[in-house]
Amino acid sequence: MCPAPLSANAPRGFIIPIGGGEDRLKERHIHRRFVELSGGAGADIVVIPTASELETTGQDYNRIFRDLGAAQVDFLPITRRADCENPRYLEMLDRATGIFLTGGNQLRLSTILGGTGIAQRIRRRNAAGVHVAGTSAGASIMSEHMIAGGDSNSSPVEGAVSLAPGLGLTNAVIIDQHFTQRNRLGRLLSASSYNPFLIGLGIDEDTAAFIGPDGVFEVVGSGTVTVVDASELTHSSMWEARPGQALTLLGLKVHVMGEGCRYDLNGRHAFAPDAHAAFCTLPNDWTRSH
């Protein structure tokens, strides 16, 4: 499932995967920046709490975004596939300036939303310039290929991760969340080895990757984003490994990036805080020769 075609009138909106466990009570840097991106005092935010089975989840995020100054906040109480064809919900997405997917269970989210009018509308609205954020399960589902489950606290082994189709807002990355807290490096490495084209993003709790329309993301929050770039992989044993067998992966490139760092998904370059702006102002002759 690929991203929707771009609108001729606006750049694609930001895609903002959050690693879960974000600060909801104090500074709320991630939520605050999402509201500002979505229009600040003029923001119209729609929350989709489908991944969660808690009845209070939608109301909790409504309160957070209203406290941060959003003009309009609503949540869609979608609990079954039939709800996804509700014309009123589609109209609410049509007027939204920001869409937020809560945490919970990503398979619950994908099996209820997948292939429905709501999923199609989210992709089209993002292509038209609307910003889409998601936390935990809501982060995992953003990519075309979604990590549906797998082993934490494990080295990369065959069978350590299971994949499923995601929402398809981006086809450049595969996302894992609660990353350092649940020691998920092994399963992200396993996921990246299936197709080295994909860039693995392991996002810590209270941390987000603000992915802009230019394909550059900035790290925001108190943790790190781990980038796994397998594009220069020289050897992988994935295709011949037996179930449970440890993998050999040679030539991987891994970056661990704290707040303010940036990463160019197209050029596959990592930048320290403030370095990206300096890089972009260098003469073209320099960029061609390095």
- Tens of pLDDT, residue by residue over 182-234, are 999 999 999 988 888 899 999 999 999 999 999 999 999 999 999 999 999 99
Amino acid identity of residue 255, one-letter, is: H
83 SS3 class: helix
- Check 31, 131, 145, 178 and give the catalytic one: 178
Q: Give the CA dihedral 186, 188, 193, 199, nearest 10 degrees.
A: -150
Over residues 112-129, the mean pLDDT reads: 97
- Check 145, 205, 218, 236 and give the catalytic one: 205
Name the average pLDDT for the chain.
92
Burial class from Cβ neighbours inside 10 Å (0-12, 13-18, 19+) for residue 40 reads middle
62 or 3: which carries more pLDDT confidence?
Answer: 62
Least confident of 157-161, 203-207, 284-288: 284-288
Least confident of 8-17, 138-147, 161-170, 210-219: 8-17
27 is catalytic: no
118 or 5: which carries more pLDDT confidence?
Answer: 118
Over residues 133-137, the mean pLDDT reads: 98
Q: What pTM, to 2 d.p., does this model score?
A: 0.91
178 is catalytic: yes
- Tens of pLDDT, residue by residue over 34-56, are 999 999 999 999 999 999 999 99
Structural domains for the chain: 15-289 (3.40.50.880)
Quote the pLDDT of residue 137: 97
- Check 38, 136, 143, 154 and give the catalytic one: 136
| Rounded Cα–Cα distance for residues 11 and 143 (Å) | 19
| Rounded Cα–Cα distance for residues 1 and 207 (Å) | 26
Q: Are 158 and 233 in contact (CB under 8 A)?
A: no
Name the band, by pLDDT with cuts 50, 70 and 90, for residue 2: low
- Tens of pLDDT, residue by residue over 4-14, are 666 666 789 99
**CB within 8 Å of 282: residues ≥ 6 apart:** none
Burial class from Cβ neighbours inside 10 Å (0-12, 13-18, 19+) for residue 24 reads middle
36 is catalytic: no
User: How do 44-48 and 98-101 pair as beta strands?
Assistant: parallel
Quote the pLDDT of residue 286: 34
